[in-house]
Amino acid sequence: MGCLGHAFAIFVTVQRGFEIRPFVEPPTAYDALRAALRQGKGSPHAFSAAEFFAEFNRHIPAHTSPQHAPSHHDVARICRDVEEADKTHFCGWRNNTVRGEQVTAANLFKTRRMFGQRVHDFAKRRNQSTRWTDDASRAQAFVMPE
């Protein structure tokens, strides 16, 4: 989850039954969340991660549709801790094997952030890099290579 207008995003593992651990880690993320909520040191309101997640849960819609799912471009606007963070539009794949190169850890990290673990594992196994651009006209629909 991210907080628009703030350099803040956290990733929470959702267990079966939609259960989570109500902790914000690392400490820098905890501090950034408190600052975004204006509940930092000296605030008259004490911050509780458990209360934050309980309140967050109350605002999650009971139903949604695929049209409301965020795109990788939406995620890229929030997750700024990836390589070439200004390049938020997917523009294809690069086969590193034919170039005699290896997919980089930084590219795999960005791939996981934007598309999830399944695509990350595919890219690592096949030695493929996701390619990105800052030019929206060069963006391509995401398709897994054959």
Please check whether residues 96 and 118 belong to one and the same domain.
yes
pLDDT tens digits, 57-99: 888 888 888 887 777 777 777 777 788 888 989 999 999 999 9
| Residue 37 counted as domain residue | yes
Band of residue 119 on the pLDDT scale cut at 50, 70, 90: very high
* DSSP string covering 78-104: H--SSTTTT--EEEEEEEHHHHT----
Please check whether residues 77 and 129 belong to one and the same domain.
yes
| Residue 113 counted as domain residue | yes
**What are the CA-CA distances from residue 87 to residues 58, 72, 113, 135 (Å)?**
34, 11, 14, 8
| Residue 102 counted as domain residue | yes
Please check whether residues 106 and 74 belong to one and the same domain.
yes
104: containing domain: 70-138
Give the pLDDT of residue 6.
Answer: 66
Give the pLDDT of residue 24.
Answer: 86
- Per the structure, the count of domains in the chain is 2
| Residue 2 counted as domain residue | no
- Would the pLDDT of 7 be above 70? no
Give the pLDDT of residue 38.
Answer: 82
Selection from 125, 76, 117 nearest residue 96 by Cα: 125
| Residue 103 counted as domain residue | yes
